Amino acid sequence: MATVDTGPTRIPLNQLDIPLERDLFLRNLIRELSGVLEDVVGLKEAAGFISIVGQNMGNQMDLDYKRALGVSNLTRPQVADVLVDLKKRIKGDFYIIEQNDDRIVLGNRACPFAEKVAGRSSMCMMTSNVFGIIASQSLGYAKVTLEETIARGDPGCRVIVYLHSSADSEAAPGKEYFQS
């Protein structure tokens, strides 16, 4: 076991009070990576790069949930439940505010990235892409609007997943997703 000499005693390194463990390390890594991208290429381009990662992760999560449920497509209520469940599994606190045939509105009290998301709006593209991919792959279309985000300093998140192209969805800012 590695120790450090602190004078008359030797302390095992693994007993030092250092805030380093896998979860915190990975959240710091993603925060720093998104920060470097935002600084070097700009917020819009950084969000684009993170979108690609989110798309890949969304495709994998979509397949995982469908396989586990034994279905080829999720119903709208299943999509809503899956979005909440996947965020809970990674320490988010998403909940359904409302859902109908036109949209799913979700709230969130805790970001999976915790305090590391502050000031890193590009990281929210993970949520947008994962939600958009899962919804569109089963329902044909999705547009995700991030109305409020913890990253931008809001006390929580408010995310709208539009399920059809409509006047409301077209007027809303956000990213569209289509079934592949």
Q: If you write DSSP's letter for every residue of 2-26 in order, what string do you get? A: -EEE-SSSEEEGGGS-----HHHHH
Q: What is the pLDDT of residue 112?
A: 93
pLDDT in tens, the chain (180 residues): 676 666 677 888 888 888 778 888 888 888 899 989 989 999 889 888 888 998 999 999 999 999 999 999 999 999 999 999 999 999 999 999 999 999 999 999 999 999 999 999 999 999 999 999 999 999 999 999 999 999 999 999 999 999 999 999 999 999 999 998
Distance CA 136, CA 122 (A): 21
Q: What is the pLDDT of residue 21?
A: 84
pTM of model > 0.95: no
CA 126 to the chain's CA centroid: 4
Give the CA count within 13 Å in the CB-facing half-sphere of 37. Answer: 19
Domains of the chain and any CATH numbers? 20-178 (3.30.1380.20)
| Extended strands (E) in 46-178 | 94-99, 103-108, 141-148, 157-162, 175-178
